[in-house]
């Protein structure tokens, strides 16, 4: 099982939400860096950044109706669950013990 620091994942989520909320292209460079950092940590492959971004973006951009139809959780909780489904532990090594 791979792992990612919660702060790393939360940063990628935060920047992605800002980008999708505003559509401001100024967030793109920061978003790309956050996704590369996330991919290196979670998947040990910086080139998986686009897959990591796809997972996060899909969860963020789901219609509000879809969120309430199956699960009553926040989009951030949904992202955590998706990463766990892919075998990524979220937290620090001491939390895993």
CB-count exposure of residue 72 (10 Å: 0-12, 13-18, 19+): exposed
β-partners of residue 90 are: 4
Instruction: Tell me what pLDDT residue 93 has.
Output: 63
Q: At residue 69, does pLDDT exceed 60? A: no
Angle at the Cα of 5 from the Cα atoms of 61 and 66, rounded to 5 degrees: 20
Q: At residue 17, does pLDDT exceed 90? A: yes
Which residue from 53, 89, 85, 86 is spatially nearest to 71, judged by alpha carbons? 85
Instruction: Tell me what pLDDT residue 78 has.
Output: 87
| Mean per-residue pLDDT, 25-46 | 94
| Mean per-residue pLDDT, 20-29 | 92
Q: What percent of the chain shows pLDDT beyond 90? A: 65
pLDDT band at 46 (very low <50, low <70, confident <90, very high): confident
How many helices and strands in the chain, by DSSP H and E? 6, 2
């Amino acid at each position: 099982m791979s792992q990612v620091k919660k702060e790393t994942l939360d940063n990628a989520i935060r920047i992605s939400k800002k980008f999708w909320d505003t559509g401001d292209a100024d967030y793109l460079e920061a978003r790309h860096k956050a996704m590369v950092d996330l991919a290196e940590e979670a998947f040990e492959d910086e080139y998986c950044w686009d897959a990591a971004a796809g997972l996060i973006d899909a969860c963020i951009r789901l219609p509000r109706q879809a969120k309430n139809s199956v699960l009553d959780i926040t989009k951030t909780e949904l992202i955590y669950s998706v990463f766990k489904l892919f075998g990524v532990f979220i937290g620090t090594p001491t939390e895993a013990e």
